[in-house]
Amino acid sequence: MAVPELLVTTATRPDEALLQRALVVSRRCGVPLTPRAHGLAAHLQAEGARLAYVVGRQEEWLATAGARLKVDVGLLHAHLALGPRHPLLRALGPADHVIDATLGLCHDALHVAATTGARVTGLEISPPLFSLAERGLSQLHAAGLDAAARITPLWGDARDLLTSAGPADAVLIAPMFDRPRCAPPGFDLLRHVARSAALDAGWLRAALAVAPRVVIKARRTQPLPAFALPHLQQILRSRAIDYWVLSLGG
């Protein structure tokens, strides 16, 4: 499903390679490619759009007139400093292969790949977010971050892709939260292009079929849905996040 009010554009004076890449993204997103000669704000206004996916020479990003979103290292350096004590890593347990069923901007996937050395298969349903991940990961790898090359992004619905992406040692699912009181910059932009879907019984079943551990990242104190309760092993907590560790046996 196309994201409303989105267009795809390029840096000004694009060469053939840039135009070809922008065409791939625009077809994937199901929205027009509109190359531009002027600033982004003027281009959005002229095209009557609110949001642009920009294919630049060095990187790609999503932008409105006031906000910008791309794949970057985020809190990776702080996570590396904490090492295996981080609750996400303790929740996942020892792993050679992790499936991140909600790849988003790749922050969790980079955290896991960089701290543990595990291979991560990342599943993302939103065409613009998948495109950002595809380009952002290859750019981070080219800039020297080896962990980015251990992440394989796949585009589609995790519920359909989990079987072929598995088996894995653990599956991570981080559904979209409601808007937190102190939302990070770009949160509203992320919400606009991300698929907001709560975890359901079918999704959990598909995850438990390919890995002995499934970790759900939830907002602190969020209630566990009834269908997940029989599978609950443990809850690990950070300041704002609960990690529910689930397994077939419960």
Binding interface with ligand SAM (CB under 6 A)? 102, 104-108, 123-126, 129, 157-159, 174, 176, 194-195, 197
In whole angstroms, the minimum distance from the beta carbon of 100 to ligand SAM comes to: 6
Q: Please tell me the number of Cα atoms within 13 Å of 186 on its side-chain side.
A: 14
Sequence-ordered strand ranges (E) for 110-228: 119-124, 151-155, 170-173, 213-219
Nearer to ligand SAM, 197 or 224 (CB): 197
Residue 136 C-beta: closest distance to ligand SAM, Å? 11
Residue 108 Cβ vs ligand SAM, minimum distance, rounded to whole Å:
4
CB-CB contact of 65 with 164 (8 Å): no
Both tokens assigned to 165:
């992406």
Which residue number places its CB atom closest to ligand SAM? 104
Kindly state the tokens that stand for 22.
Answer: 């922008």
Nearer to ligand SAM by Cβ, of 11 and 162: the residue is 162
Rounded CA gap, 30 and 33, in Å?
Answer: 10
**Closer residue to ligand SAM (CB): 11 or 173:** 173
Q: Which two tokens stand for residue 171?
A: 């599956």
Q: What minimum distance in Å lies between the beta carbon of 104 and ligand SAM?
A: 3
CB atoms within 10 A of CB 16: 7
Q: Is there a contact between 216 and 173 (Cβ–Cβ < 8 Å)?
A: yes
Query: Which CB atom, from 26 or from 121, has the smaller least distance to ligand SAM?
Result: 121
Give the 3-state secondary structure percentages of the chain, helix then strand then coil, rounded to 5.
40, 20, 40
Q: What is the Cα–Cα distance from 126 to 218, expressed in whole angstroms?
A: 20
**What is the smallest separation between the CB atom of 95 and ligand SAM, expressed in angstroms?**
16
Q: With respect to ligand SAM, which residue has the nearer C-beta, 37 or 182?
A: 182
* Min dist. Cβ of residue 48 to ligand SAM (A): 25
For ligand SAM, give the closer residue by CB, 145 or 197: 197
Q: Concatenated DSSP letters for 115-129? A: HH--EEEEEE--HHH
